[in-house]
Amino acid sequence: MSSLMVNDYMDFNSLKSLLSVLNITDGNLASHLKSLEKANYISYEKEFVGRKPNTKYAATKAGKEAFTKHIKAIEQLLK
List of domains in the chain? 2-78 (1.10.10.10)
Q: 19-37 pLDDT, tens per residue?
A: 988 889 999 999 999 999 9
pLDDT at 61: 97
pLDDT at 78: 95
- As a whole number of Å, the end-to-end CA separation of the chain is 23
Low-confidence residues of the chain: pLDDT under 70: none
pLDDT at 49: 87
pLDDT at 20: 87
Question: What pTM, to 2 d.p., does this model score?
Answer: 0.85
Integer CA distances (angstroms), 47 to 40, 53, 61, 62, in order: 20, 6, 22, 24
